[in-house]
Amino acid sequence: MNDTIRMSKQRRWAESKAHSSWQIFKIMAEFVDGFEALAKLGPCISIFGSARTKPGEEYYELSTEIAQRLAEEGFGIISGGGPGIMEAANKGAQLGGGKSVGLNIELPFEQHCNPHIDRDANLNFDYFFVRKVMFTKYSQGFIMMPGGFGTMDEFFEVATLIQTGKMEAVPLILVGSSYWGGLLSWMKAVMLEQHGNISPHNLDLLKVADTADEVAGHVLAFYQRNPLQPNF
């Protein structure tokens, strides 16, 4: 490596380190803005699912119905703020007269703010990890609709936090038995029975539902036995 190339690499490395230091302040600002906005909300339920689900499709309409039903029971609804299942969740929240919250993430594709978010509850994030803290800190339940990698990431994040005691137990509901059934069977047969990588009671964290009434029933039954309280 000649001196010119080495000096160029060193300069870029130094510039990258300086940028990383300033990045800390941007991350802190996202945390502060999120905490200040969401701390004002009452009890909320987060609904996760695919951004690619279209209006008129089964799980879009079911997500709208679930969100409306929960909003009518007094819960605000938090979504990722984008299209698909997220849009359906915010739409249902407004139909049910509940708070409609969107936690948007800046992405090069797929993501744009849907029109059903309350103006004072539309937040934007650059960092996935900050956004995930907001979901887990301010939601008193999690509804997992069918989705892709992002939904799986959010599902296992919440399950891990509850399993390890870093977060209080809250309802964790998988909607669509035909969609989630294969994964749950694999978890039981392979993760639990074959390898012993989880404990039997870990699977008790998960509920499966196929209708809005079933979802609402799980949530309401949980909070008849447990107080509404901060997650951590």
pTM (two decimals): 0.90
Chain centre to alpha carbon of residue 177: 19
The mean of the pLDDT values for the chain is 92
Six-digit token pair at 11?
A: 């300069």
* pLDDT for res 1: 53
Q: What is the mean pLDDT of residues 141-151?
A: 97
Cα-based distances in Å from 114 to 64, 85, 121, 221: 14, 11, 12, 31
Q: Which of 95, 62, 59, 61 is nearest to 77 (CA)?
A: 95
Residue 228 has pLDDT above 60, yes or no: yes
Tell me the residue type at 228: L
Predicted confidence band of residue 112 (pLDDT cuts 50, 70, 90): confident
* pLDDT for res 84: 97
Distance CA 134, CA 196 (A): 32
| Least confident interval from 4-18, 21-35, 100-114, 157-171 | 4-18
Tokens 């300069």: give the residue. Answer: 11
Distance CA 181, CA 178 (A): 5
Q: Where does 42-221 sit in CATH, by number?
A: 3.40.50.450
* pLDDT for res 231: 87
Residues 6+ apart with CB under 8 A from 126: 26, 30, 105, 106
Domain residue extents for the chain? 42-221
DSSP string, 102-160: EEEE--SSS----TTS-GGGEEEES-HHHHHHHHHHH-S-EEE-S--HHHHHHHHHHHH
Q: What is the mean pLDDT of residues 118-132?
A: 95
Integer-rounded Cα Rg, in Å, for the chain is: 20
